[in-house]
Amino acid sequence: MILHVNSAEHREDYRIRVEFDDGVTKDVDLKDVLEGPVFEPLRDPEFFRRFLVNPETRTIEWPNGADLAPEFLYEIGSEVERVA
């Protein structure tokens, strides 16, 4: 299945709430996956919060070009229960 990110918002620390195009919303904690040179700037909490959803790639992206595949975000995220 090909997934895309519809929206994302910073929650706290290195957590992002991500809404996917299949209707599922997940909280994703990225604290332990920010390894390697491209992700090093994201360890700064101020820089981490500067992500956006790229309308072309439809995933989250940071100003330095770092991004994460929607499938990866989906896999490591914890589903948020829907409120009726």
This prediction has a pTM of 0.92
Q: Which two tokens stand for residue 21?
A: 């195009």
User: In this structure, which amino acid lies at residue 50?
Assistant: R
Beta bridge partners of 67: 61
Instruction: Give the Å distances, CA to CA, from 21 to 3, 5, 8, 35, 40.
Output: 7, 6, 12, 27, 29
pLDDT digits (tens, 9 = 90+) for 29-83: 999 999 999 999 999 999 999 999 999 999 999 999 999 999 999 999 999 987 6
Instruction: Give the fold, CATH level 3, of 5-79.
Output: NE0471 N-terminal domain-like (3.30.2020)
